[in-house]
Amino acid sequence: MNHPVRERDALHTVALTLNGRSRSGQARPRLLLSDFLRHELGATGTHVGCEHGVCGACTVRIDGVAQRACLTLAVQVDGRCVDTVEQPPGQDATLDALKAAFKRHHALQCGFCTAGILMSSADWLRRQQAAGHRPDEAEVRDMLSGHLCRCTGYTPIVDAVLEVAHA
């Protein structure tokens, strides 16, 4: 006889490509990707804020698309590619350029929100560039509306994203 509690709580192997490297770990079916990355794989650059998809601190790219890791189950990324802010230099030119621009513009203070903003911005800028579009300040601010930053006032973040967008 099957015991539903045991099946529901069974560990599953989750194998993925994390920042260009094959990785795997064990996860229960309800474990969030944000917690799996941090606690199982040691990728602590992905921060956990609200755990409701509101603050954006946990944003990663799954198969190239920015998504909230706190709204994704670890088992959902089995066999997929996950990129975090910890991606080594040279793997993503847009992310590298954004990191440098954030430093130049002092677009991070406490740094808690920065990883998510960088990942969303890199995905968004890549799509804008592919469409041949050069976004303006209002469009950057609209993209950033899915992220909460309590330290910077957003102006240096906007300036950094615009610098990369217009490079």
Give the domain CATH number at 148.
1.10.150.120
Whether residue 26 lies inside any domain: the answer is yes
In terms of domains, do 75 and 103 share one? no
Give the domain CATH number at 34.
3.10.20.30
On the question of pLDDT at 83 being above 60, the answer is yes
On the question of pLDDT at 92 being above 70, the answer is yes
pLDDT of 5 reads 53
The DSSP-derived string for 85-136 is TTPPTTS-HHHHHHHHHHHHTT--SS-TTHHHHHHHHHHHHHHHHHTT----
Of 83, 101, 126, the residue at which a domain comes to its end is 83
Q: What is the mean pLDDT of residues 6-17?
A: 86
pLDDT of 41 reads 98
pLDDT band (50, 70, 90) for residue 117: very high
In terms of domains, do 49 and 98 share one? no
User: How many domains is the chain built from?
Assistant: 2
The range of the structural domain enclosing residue 112 comes to 93-165
Pair of tokens at residue 146: 């899915």
